[in-house]
Structure 1
Amino acid sequence: MKDSLERAGDGSGFPSSEIAWRLVDLQNKGIRTESRMEAGRRGGAGPSDDAAFRMGSTTVMLPAFNGPAESSPYTLVEGDDGYALQFEGKTLMYLDPVSRPKFYDLTTKDGIAYNKIAVRHSSDVLASTVIQSCIRWSPNDRCKFCAIGHSLEAGATIAKKSPEQLAEVVQAAERLDGITQITLTTGTPNETDRGALHLAACVRAIRKISNLPIQVQCEPPDDDGLYQVLKDAGANTIGLHVESFDERVRREMMPSKSAIKLETYFSAFEKAVTVFGKNQVTTYVILGMGEDPELTLAGCARAAAMGVYPFVVPLRPLRGTLLEHAEPPSSVYMEQMYRNVAGLLAEAELTSASSMAGCAKCGACSALPSFEKLQV
């Protein structure tokens, strides 16, 4: 490992193994900043407490506001030459923080700030939790890694976004900030459609004013016909997030959601791929919760063989969650898992670039796309 990487990347989009490893380490340990970042995301349903940076030709999301970031060996220091990423005081490379979106300064005609309706992830992804409540949000039932209820309690968002509100924000974000894709997720409002019907209504409204690719994300609905409903509404991809392929971990970390067994997810994967196609169905897999690596890789392999992209990420101990004080996984472990999963993706001929929208396409919260490129 070189001590100094200087400017990250060469603009080719193919990071070196050293850059890939450094990204793994940064996403586990986070980054300390000398001043409050202008743009970042705190609270919510997915990876959060982070800020977006350009690392060479790639935009990445790095933890900047959670507990591990406070004691990170990495610091971002502003100087005459830009923002220097330092490791234990020695400059490694330069990062460019992604600036605050322009659409954040706008409000609806009834006074709701646009960034309470949707936020930007990475540098070009518009994301919204269309239903901010969840039937699993209680002390004994909630997923231990999730912070979906806290952003609502803090007044950072609204409980339910209407299709018309979302279309209005999409139009502004596309015009002012050049977003290139949209991700719509939801808390689980019930045990039947699991939010899919409201997602479909939101997609239909967006389709009236935008042709940008859209991913929808929800738990597997009871009615398999809803996959076609979402597709017909205009969704391009779907995320069915298993979170872990280890049932023991699922029971411990997701006391309520784990009632949906792994076999139910694999059945849902099969049906969703039939509708959306190979590489257009993704599942989110969190590493560092005590999972069995062999079970995890076996689950990733089975999903990939079905045409489902397993998007693996490190545990981010988010503030306010039941895992707030947990330790992130080791970088050695994450690097090994990334290499193994990237190999499985290559065998199945799946790539993040081939996904039309969503977490895999964005890739900013994971180093997996970087390890994909190392397979070439």
Structure 2
Amino acid sequence: MYNETLINELQTKGMRLVDPTVGHQSRRGGAGPTDHKAVTIGDMTVMVPVHTAPSFESPYVVDAPDADGSSVIRKNGEDVARVTFPAKPKFSDLVTAEGVPYNQIAVLHGRDVLATTVLQTCIRYQSRTKTCQFCAIGQSLAAGRTIAHKTPEQLAEVAKAAVELDGVKHMVMTTGTPKGPDRGAAVLAESAAAIKAAVDLPLQAQCEPPEDDIWLQRMKDAGVDTLGMHLEAVSDEVRQRIMPGKAQVSVDKYFQSFKAAVPIFGPGQVSTYILAGLGDTVEQILDISHRLVKIGVYPFVVPFVPVSGTPLESHPSPSSDFMNAILEPLSKMIIDSGLAATKAKAGCAKCGACSALSTYEKFRIKEVAA
């Protein structure tokens, strides 16, 4: 069995693996959450840090798999749950006609989500004085584990195979921010149109708010089902210190775009990623979450995980208590407003693997029903 406390602790403390080869390969470097491994507990698949400094000292240890493929997870030597690891996806062994491995185009995230970074370069990443200090978007490219630009044709080919071979249920497309006022919306729209022409797969696109709101409708028309525009940090002080380049796009601009996007995509189909533990207080995160929920935007709050090779590699992860102080009232706020992770058509909120938030929501729903 599992509960929100166990998921929260695993994601803040990480876990140690007796057999590091279990499951499909853990991801290191790249855009978005990384240095994690997918693990299934009950009916929930979550991403748990395994390559970070806190995880090396975690009280949670996962035994080598038994004959049935499941493993015991222990906390300080005591059994707490049985877990399994998603198998390596079949599509990842394939190669395009021009010789590009599918797993350099997109990867399996969690249990049934296909994820890709369409542009593996970013104008914010060109200088460490402007880049988001937590981002490792250039690492996987430098290591040759991905390619700089995934074409619409490549993405459509891989998405179709992932659905047919592995039963993938939805897809997340993020991107580094290119030059230009669309801030990545154009390449995402082009990619979405190609994927939807090849396979019926719910899509989330993620980018900074385009300068012109017309791009929101263009992405929707191209086949994007849900939209993520990620604040990451919420207070001006933390935004300027942690992500000075991205902070040039103000919180006010984000809210203008959120308000324009919700009528296009629908309540709960627009979300924002908030990294807890970078310096924003519990109160600041809950205050902005209240503003977001009020206009129909889902605030996906995730514990910050330091990634090796970034300026924040030694920055501590938030404590379990800190995350609980956010996620418990936030889950109540979300459910009481009529939003929920289960209502999202695609993307981070629907997947829920990088945060215990959806688990808190499940228990909140049970409380309401009781």
Please indicate the TM-score interval, normalised by the length of the shorter structure: over 0.9
Task: Report the equivalent of 2:102.
Answer: 114
The DSSP-based 3-state class of the residue aligned with 1:226 is: helix
Residue correspondence of structure 1 range 1-376 to structure 2 within 5 A = 8-9=1-2, 19-37=3-21, 38-80=24-66, 82-137=70-125, 138-376=127-365
Cα deviation digits, residues 258-301 of structure 1 (max 9, x gap): 11111111101000112111110000001011112222111000
Cα deviation digits, residues 285-344 of structure 1 (max 9, x gap): 010111122221110000110000000000011111111111110101101100111121
CA-CA distance at 1:80 after TM superposition: 3.5
Alignment partners' CA distance in 2, 1:275 and 1:194: 18
Could you tell me which runs of 5 or more consecutive residues in structure 2 were left unpaired when the two chains were aligned: 366-370
* Structure 1 residues 262 and 23: CA distance shift in structure 2, 3 A: same
CA-CA distance at 1:191 after TM superposition: 4.1
Task: Report the equivalent of 2:368.
Answer: none
**1:74–1:88 CA contact under 8 A, matched in 2:** yes
Alignment partners' CA distance in 2, 1:79 and 1:190: 48
CA-CA distance at 1:99 after TM superposition: 1.1
Cα deviation digits, residues 233-282 of structure 1 (max 9, x gap): 01100000011221111111101101111111110100011211111000
Could you tell me which runs of 5 or more consecutive residues in structure 1 were left unpaired when the two chains were aligned: 1-7, 10-18
**2:104–2:146 CA contact under 8 A, matched in 1:** yes
Alignment partners' CA distance in 1, 2:223 and 2:65: 46
**2:282–2:322 CA contact under 8 A, matched in 1:** no
User: Does 335-344 or 358-367 show the bigger shift?
Assistant: 335-344
**1:39–1:99 CA contact under 8 A, matched in 2:** no
User: Does 35-44 or 260-269 show the bigger shift?
Assistant: 35-44
**2:123–2:179 CA contact under 8 A, matched in 1:** yes
Alignment partners' CA distance in 1, 2:281 and 2:36: 27
The DSSP-based 3-state class of the residue aligned with 1:97 is: coil
Alignment partners' CA distance in 2, 1:292 and 1:83: 36
Task: State the TM-score, normalized to the length of structure 1.
Answer: 0.94
For the aligned residues, what is the CA RMSD?
A: 1.1
CA-CA distance at 1:202 after TM superposition: 0.5
Stretches (4+) displaced over 6 A:
none
Alignment partners' CA distance in 2, 1:216 and 1:80: 39
Alignment partners' CA distance in 2, 1:230 and 1:214: 10
Q: How many equivalent pairs are there? A: 360
